[in-house]
Structure 1
């Protein structure tokens, strides 16, 4: 599991995907979420504006990230 440092109160799933280089722009996030397995605390994510807070665990396909 990798540690991801959140700058500020939260980050959206779209911003996270962009920072981690899964997508090139925010507009691609909708399609990425439909075609890949993205879980937030073991729940499937379909909303690109979903907020992620410290302590949350995000799984993107087979990689897991702990938000700090």
Structure 2
């Protein structure tokens, strides 16, 4: 990875990773119905790329994105 590359993760993948949802279909549903906020704003794009520092609110749970030690 070069210096200019930023590590990202898609919103739907992140929701599965942290256990907010069990399946990709479930992630798609709650994202498309406006039940997920990214940095305080409703997000309806499941492919939204998240970076370290983003704050996610889903199903009454808050999550903080930290990809600083993510394995590629």
- With normalisation by structure 1, the TM-score equals 0.71
Per chain length, whose mean CA-contact separation is higher, i.e. which structure has more relative contact order (CA < 8 Å, sep 6+)? 1
CA contact (8 A) 2:33 2:44 kept: no
CA distance in 1, matches of 2:40, 2:7: 21
Q: Is the 8 A contact 1:36 1:60 kept in 2?
A: no
- Tell me which of 28, 32, 47 is aligned to 1:49: 47
TM-superposed CA distance for 1:19, in Å, is 1.3
SS of alignment partner, residue 16 of structure 2: helix
5+ residue gaps, structure 2, are: 1-5, 67-72
Higher-Rg structure is 2
What count of residue pairs does the alignment treat as equivalent? Answer: 61
Q: Residue 21 of structure 1 aligns with which residue?
A: 19
In terms of fraction of residues, the more strand-rich structure is 1
* Structure 2 counterpart of 1:30, from 20, 25, 28: 28
- Give me the TM-score of the superposition, normalised by structure 2: 0.68
